[in-house]
Structure 1
Amino acid sequence: MTSVSFCRRSGANRFRQVASFVFAIGLAAPTASRLMAQTNVPPVPSAPPAATSVEPVFPKTDPSDFTADSPTKEQVEGFLRASWGYDTNRVYEVARILKTDVPGVSNVIVLVGEKGRKETGALQFIVLPDGKHLVAGGQQLEILPFGEHPYAENRTSLVARANGPSSGGASKDLEIVEFADFQCPHCKEAQPTIQKILTDFPNAHFVFENFPLAQHPQAFRSAAYGVCVAKLGGNKAFFDYASAVFEGQAGLATDDGATLTLNSAVTKAGQDPDKVEACSKTPETKATVDASAQLAKDLSVNQTPTLAINGRLVPLGNADYNVLKQMITYHASNDGPAK
């Protein structure tokens, strides 16, 4: 099992968005023992193995195993297609949709396999009466979005509210939002991955959103300086500033070191440190940083760095770049225009 690299928000609850759930159940090789037992697995394992002539074999479904009125088999398949469609090696079969003793609550079981492997596993989750959420997990239960378009509400919120510094294309039909903390070491580690994404998807609308974590004493100040650099110098100045802050991140360990590091980054971005410092202390700047952090919380982002790909939340700890690229390509081709 691979280790996961991220900075978690202090006091964050365990209710995560469906992206984390899909990674947990979806990208590792789905052997029966792992899929039945796993509850806290790496969010982004390695890319699946190349396909061979071997195919998993699922037992024939029994109509008596579909006793619930909702969701329908087609709705579950739509959910899985939205979540797994990027991976052409994955195969699955909705095996059961059963009524429970609680009105409107259904028990769903999906058999899962991968081309090139005989082993299969089982995924089980509970769909709630609203038809928009599911409950999954073992010792730590998670409440997650469900439906044929599970990322649509997130996408709508991000199109309307992700107003941070941006680069790339003007169209939000493919929008990639990064939630990051300047003092989070894993956010610094993720920057080469971000740059690869921007190179491979130059038409994507990329947005940086501040999510300063409480356990990082210089994170809010760094974010406030960034807001002011963007206000005074525009998007390019901001990204020059961000690159310099991440590069000099070790200097944020102390108050004096942070002052030197941030002022140096401001200068590299072509801005006046005194003007930026004054701007960073205004209520307007604080409100801008707070709004960015609130957006992250409203989406249930609880770790940095996290990407939102057309609303699909993807924790970047140990992300396999080829998998990310497949996922972005899939959403770019299938999500349709932003609304």
Structure 2
Amino acid sequence: MFRAPLLAATLALAALPAAAFDASAMTDAEREAFRAEIRAYLLDNPEVLMEAIGVLEERQAAEQAQGDVALVANHADALFNDANSYVGGNPEGDITIVEFMDYRCGYCKKAFPEVESLIEADGNIRFIVKEFPILGEQSVVASRFAIATLQQVGPEAYKAVHDGMMELRGEYTEATLSALAKDAGFDPAPVLAAMESDEVSAVIAENHALAQAMQITGTPTFVLQDQMLRGYVPLQAMMGLVAEARGAK
């Protein structure tokens, strides 16, 4: 007969502002009974916990999104106006997408053809690639070759080897990299010679510093206008986000 009135009181207290509920005003017996009643109620109604967890996750996601907007704003110049990164798609596009990627990342490889489809179908997206090797020495080798290609040969050659490495399922050896270069129509020797240069190292260091400042720890991570998308996003969802970003301008 005790549970119903105490439960009603508990629910009423839950509706009050936190400052209006002072557990310290309870006696030890009242506090113990209060805790026991809450426990019993949650055991009888576990769906309440799931609902509370859902609300908490929504709040955390909203806070994360707000924080990400601030991070993008604070680092906008390094993100969108970096002279050392490849710019593809439509350089004059009304929407900009930046991708932090790693050639050894399975989800980057999964996202690659879908991002390509998005850019081609839309026609008005400016696409920036941030080389962000974080998955071991092979990742570093691939990024060094890509960056050296951009610096030594130019953006068209970079695009060709970037695409080739995203589709490659084997190791990034001198032989496979040379084959990619030859398929793209340029001599691999100057690029291979430049891979360990200070200029290439500086780009990787700058991208890592930017990622750290923006709390990016995994790939792929996309920046779409003022929001960050942490992880793989399916094509249809990405198309919807682009449409939302365009509508918000």
Cα offset, 1:226, TM superposition = 0.6
> 1:240 aligns to what?
160
Secondary structure at the aligned position of 1:177 is classed as: strand
> 2:239 aligns to what?
325
Q: What TM-score results when the alignment is normalised by the length of structure 1?
A: 0.53
> 1:171 aligns to what?
92
1:37 correspondence with 2:53: yes
> 1:261 aligns to what?
176
Secondary structure at the aligned position of 2:199 is classed as: helix
After superposition, give the CA deviation of every residue in 1:201-256 in whole Å (9 maximum; x if it has no partner): 2221101110000x42211111111111112222121111011112223223xxxx
- Coordinate RMSD, CA, aligned: 2.9
> How many residues are treated as equivalent by the alignment?
202
CA contact (8 A) 1:308 1:314 kept: yes
Higher helix share: 2
CA contact (8 A) 1:168 1:205 kept: yes
| Separation in structure 1 between the aligned mates of residue 130 and residue 58 of structure 2, nearest angstrom | 34
1:227 correspondence with 2:147: yes
1:270 correspondence with 2:190: no
| Separation in structure 1 between the aligned mates of residue 93 and residue 48 of structure 2, nearest angstrom | 40
Judging changes above 3 Å, is the alpha-carbon distance between structure 1 residues 144 and 208 closer, same or farther for their aligned structure 2 residues? same
Greater Cα radius of gyration, structure 1 or 2: 2
| Separation in structure 2 between the aligned mates of residue 143 and residue 217 of structure 1, nearest angstrom | 35
> 1:190 aligns to what?
111
CA contact (8 A) 1:229 1:237 kept: yes
> 1:315 aligns to what?
230
Judging changes above 3 Å, is the alpha-carbon distance between structure 1 residues 244 and 305 closer, same or farther for their aligned structure 2 residues? same
CA contact (8 A) 1:162 1:177 kept: no
- Percent identity over paired residues: 20
CA contact (8 A) 2:97 2:222 kept: yes
Judging changes above 3 Å, is the alpha-carbon distance between structure 1 residues 224 and 172 closer, same or farther for their aligned structure 2 residues? same
Judging changes above 3 Å, is the alpha-carbon distance between structure 1 residues 161 and 177 closer, same or farther for their aligned structure 2 residues? same
Judging changes above 3 Å, is the alpha-carbon distance between structure 1 residues 34 and 162 closer, same or farther for their aligned structure 2 residues? farther
| Separation in structure 2 between the aligned mates of residue 286 and residue 237 of structure 1, nearest angstrom | 19
After superposition, give the CA deviation of every residue in 1:143-173 in whole Å (9 maximum; x if it has no partner): 74637x6553354541233741111222364
> 1:250 aligns to what?
170
Which amino acid letter does the alignment assign opposite residue 303 of structure 1?
G
Which amino acid letter does the alignment assign opposite residue 209 of structure 1?
K
| Separation in structure 1 between the aligned mates of residue 106 and residue 58 of structure 2, nearest angstrom | 35
| Separation in structure 2 between the aligned mates of residue 123 and residue 240 of structure 1, nearest angstrom | 41
Q: What TM-score results when the alignment is normalised by the length of structure 2?
A: 0.70
Judging changes above 3 Å, is the alpha-carbon distance between structure 1 residues 311 and 162 closer, same or farther for their aligned structure 2 residues? farther
Where structure 1 has 5 or more consecutive residues not aligned to the other structure, the ranges are 1-30, 39-120, 126-135, 253-257
Where structure 2 has 5 or more consecutive residues not aligned to the other structure, the ranges are 1-46
Match of 1:201 among 110, 117, 122: 122
Higher strand share: 1
> 1:299 aligns to what?
214
Cα offset, 1:181, TM superposition = 0.6
> 1:334 aligns to what?
248
> 2:197 aligns to what?
282
